[in-house]
Amino acid sequence: HKDNTLNGKKVLITAGPTYENIDPVRFIGNFSSGKMGIAIAEAFYNRGAEVNLVLGPSKEPVPGGINVINVRSAQQMYDACMALFPDTDMAVMSAAVADFRPKTLAEEKIKKQDDEGMTIELVRNPDILKACGAIKSDKQLLVGFALETNNEEENALGKLKRKNADMIVLNSLNDEKAGFGTDTNKVTIFEKNGTIHRWPLRSKSELGVQLADLMIEKINESK
Ligand code: PMT
């Protein structure tokens, strides 16, 4: 079911978690499986686009034909996206990127010192969506996600503005069968022109198709 709607167009997708190494045996990660972003990548591929998928550590299969760039840390994901974004028509940042990483990477496994607690000092990772928003041209369409547990809509709208995105897809952790790891998702989409789409629960693959088609509509409108 591949068509040629987006022939000649390039799409960039981020998906999955990032892992921030602490020492040779430990890392800081999160529960993202990569399913949501892979579904979006597949939808764009089926519309005929050339799709670059920058994918953090994920065990999910990726359909053939999609260019996969495997990364582990937020910094690696950032570097890959900075190289690809300038030559991209549409981008969707669905990865769950760690905001912080350990300040130093221990070369040897960290040992228990005594019975006291321990502290790992963290430093900020670059914000990939924000960095793309800062260099975005009028011809590019940039979509981010927002994963929230409270003040969901307010926080999502804040991210839309702060990160200079064209749309933000809000995932609430308060919704059942939505978010991390599931095959379904429930989102609210905020466009920068004020339009809000409240989509009921659906499979991540259907959501991928509908998000891709909404983005295609937007890019055609702005021509
Ligand atoms: O992978 P699945 O198991 O299918 O789960 C899908 C999902 C729940 C991970 C996905 O639907 C989702 O909500 N992804 C965004 C998760 C997130 O970390 O959101 P955030 O609110 O922390 O970040 C806001 C936006 O900035 C996101 O587009 C994120 O990719 C981006 N970001 C955040 C931090 C950072 N350093 N760089 C970024 O680009």
> In the structure, what pLDDT confidence band is assigned to residue 127 with cuts at 50, 70 and 90?
very high
What is the average pLDDT score of the chain? 96
Say if CB 96 and CB 18 are below 8 A apart: yes
> Which ligand 1 atom sits nearest the alpha carbon of residue 168?
28
Residue 210 makes CB contacts below 8 A (sequence gap 6+) with 199, 202
Q: Does residue 103 carry a pLDDT above 90?
A: yes
Domains of the chain, earliest start first: 10-102+121-221 (3.40.50.10300)
Pairwise CA distance, residues 108 & 25, whole Å: 9
115 CA from centroid of ligand 1 (Å): 36
- Determine the residue of 33, 54, 92, 129 to mutate for testing ligand 1's pocket, defined as the one with the most ligand atoms within 8 A of the Cβ atom: 129
- Going by alpha carbons, the residue nearest to atom 8 of ligand 1 is 179
Region 144-154 average pLDDT: 94
Q: Does residue 12 carry a pLDDT above 90?
A: yes
- At residue 112, the pLDDT reads 81
- At residue 117, the pLDDT reads 87
Region 4-21 average pLDDT: 97
Q: Does residue 195 carry a pLDDT above 70?
A: yes
Region 18-33 average pLDDT: 97
Q: Does residue 97 carry a pLDDT above 80?
A: yes
Region 123-142 average pLDDT: 98
The answer to whether 173 is a known ligand-binding residue is no
Residue with tokens 């914000």: 127
pLDDT tens per residue across span 176-185: 999 999 999 9
End-to-end CA distance of the chain: 26
Q: Does residue 223 carry a pLDDT above 80?
A: no
Region 138-142 average pLDDT: 96
Residue 209 makes CB contacts below 8 A (sequence gap 6+) with 43, 46
- At residue 26, the pLDDT reads 97
Other beta carbons less than 10 A from residue 193's beta carbon: 9
Q: Does residue 113 carry a pLDDT above 80?
A: no
- At residue 222, the pLDDT reads 79
170 Cβ below 6 A of ligand 1: no
17 Cβ below 6 A of ligand 1: no
